[in-house]
Amino acid sequence: MRAGKRLSIAVVGAIAAAGVLAGCGEAGSSGTEAPQQAAAGEGCAPVAGQQLIALDDDKSLQNADNIIPAVHSKAATPQLIAALDKVSAGLDTPALVQLNKAVDVDRKSAQAAAQDFVTANGLADGVEKGPGGKITVGAGNFTESELIAELYKLQLTAAGYQVTVQQIGNRELYEPALEKGEIQVVPEYAATMAEFLNGKVNSGAQPVSSPDVDATITALRGLGEKVGVTFGAPAKAQNQNAFAVTTEFSEKYGVRTLSELAEKCSGAATVLGGPPECQERPFCKPGLEKTYGLAVGSFSSLDGGGPLTKTGLRNGTISVGLVFSTDAAYAQG
């Protein structure tokens, strides 16, 4: 679902992987060897390892796909928006990685993981009561959307609403339901939703999203007004295309950013892995080539952020792979 959601729309945002990378330390520290310099044009062969990290998108290849609450405009009372905005205020990318890990790795239910997060962060404390009534929160059919929908449910329940969560599959299904008021709230991704609505309202003539989150949100809200959808505050958390390597690869070659990858690892030995469409999509292989000047030796057709790509990284058959920025694979421990 995620691969289709991200790559089929071809709009994704710039990643903030500093929290993920902070635990790696400087090359040569803690008894590790100094980075190995690959010969010019040789590239960087894959290095097997279990822990994955996301390389920093330091030139902003990706667009601002911050998580944001989308609300049917007739249901968008100030109290409802304020309750949802508290989720946005407490949610950054490292926190979302850990939430995904709680479900995908630790096997908690989405409801239990959401309750733990709300309790630990005091999100429901002091929530202003709204006018009440029934609210249906829609969710996409993947873990992250279900988790955020459960966070929204807890917040809106604290605000006095009677809330149910309904899984409605993909955006093509739940967005029309949101416009009609059949559901009242759904977690969204700013740049992806902006381009989806741009396609409906303007036939997608010119892209409206960019790495600038403020500009993207402004465009999104303008489009939302035309279809009866109101947007709350964006979270710091973003789910975007991210390019992952093993920590062993990062330490061996001294690579922590995509610029460093291009500088040190362009060449025949470097293998990029991802879904087949990565070879054509502007935010995948062509974007790495145009924005960063990365030249890979070969491409391995796998999946979009799925088990094949992560296994390829861990087994040392690909050097770098497309793994989304909030994947549980980045969680430490």
pLDDT, one tens digit per residue, over 95-133 is 999 999 999 999 999 999 999 999 999 999 999 999 999
Indicate whether this model's pTM tops 0.75.
yes
Taking 70 as the threshold, does the pLDDT of residue 22 lie above it? no
Mean pLDDT value of segment 256-275: 97
- Please say whether the beta carbons of 138 and 185 come within 8 A: yes
- 9-23, 84-98, 118-132: least confidently modelled range: 9-23
Please state, in angstroms and rounded to a whole number, the distance separating the CA atoms of residues 124 and 142: 25
Q: Express as a percent the part of the chain with pLDDT over 70.
A: 88
Whole-angstrom Cα distance, residue 258 to residue 233? 29
pLDDT attached to residue 37: 56
Six-digit token string for 99: 């939430």
- Which two tokens mark 6? 């991200």
- Angle (nearest 5°) at CA 260 between 254 and 265: 80
Which tokens in the block code for residue 309? 């790509």
Instruction: Tell me: pLDDT of 297 over 70.
Output: yes
CA 106, distance to chain mean position in Å, is 20
DSSP per residue, 111-149: HHHHHHHHHHHTTTTTPPP----EEEEEE-SSHHHHHHH
User: What average pLDDT does range 48-62 have in this prediction?
Assistant: 97
In this prediction, residues 124-153 reach a mean pLDDT of 96
The pLDDT of residue 93 is 95
- In the numeric block, which tokens belong to residue 251? 């330490």
| Predicted confidence (pLDDT) at residue 254 exceeds the cutoff of 50 | yes
For residue 208, what pLDDT is reported? Answer: 96
Q: Which residues contact 249 (CB under 8 A, 6 or more apart)?
A: 44, 46, 47, 49, 255, 319, 320
Question: Which domains does the chain show, CATH number per domain?
Answer: 2-61+240-330 (3.40.190.120), 67-231 (3.10.105.10)
Range 68-86 average pLDDT:
98
Residue 12 pLDDT level (bands cut at 50, 70, 90): very low
- pLDDT at 204 > cutoff 90: no
Q: Rounded to an integer, what is the distance from CA 79 to the centroid of its chain?
A: 27
- Asked if residue 222 lies in contact with residue 49, where contact means CB atoms within 8 angstroms, the answer is no
What are the tens digits of pLDDT across the range 159-173? Answer: 999 999 999 988 999
- Per DSSP, helices labelled H in the chain are 2-9, 18-21, 78-90, 93-104, 110-121, 143-158, 171-180, 190-202, 213-227, 247-253, 258-265, 285-287, 307-315
Specify the pLDDT at position 169: 85
Torsion of CA 251, 28, 331, 65, to 10 degrees: -60
Residue 272 CA to its chain's centroid (Å): 20
pLDDT number for residue 34 = 55
Q: Which residue has the tokens 């030796």?
A: 297
Please compute Rg for the chain using Cα positions: 20
pLDDT in tens, 30-39: 344 556 555 5
Higher pLDDT pick, 13 / 276: 276
CA distance 192 to 66: 9
